[in-house]
Amino acid sequence: MNENNEIEELLVRNIIHNFTTPVTSILGFSEMLVDEPGNLSPDQITMLKYINESAKKLSSEIEYLKKTIENKNEINFELSDKVNVIELITK
């Protein structure tokens, strides 16, 4: 693996790691609030469900990216792939 590929792989692994913890927290807190809404209004519950579904989608994309990297011996991203990864994690 050349140096550029090593740097790219390290960058993607760091991005995955840095997104996993906050997304997991968002999932946990939103599920907890939806299950026990307390004094939340119906609109707030609807927004929490939207937040939860969005976090689930992002979590799935992170897991997919993680598995993709783990299954590759060598990461060889083209410029368009890098743009797609950035778009994916900023949705």
DSSP code, position 37? -
What tokens were used for 6?
């090593």
Output the average pLDDT for the chain: 80
Distances (CA, A) of 64 to 4, 47, 60, 69: 22, 26, 6, 9
pLDDT digits (tens, 9 = 90+) for 46-89: 999 999 999 999 888 888 888 887 776 444 555 555 556 666 66
CB 25 within 8 A of CB 82: no
Rg over alpha carbons for the chain, rounded to the nearest Å, is 17
Please state whether the predicted TM-score (pTM) of the whole model is above 0.85: no
Taking the mean position of all CA atoms in its chain, how far away is CA 24? 9
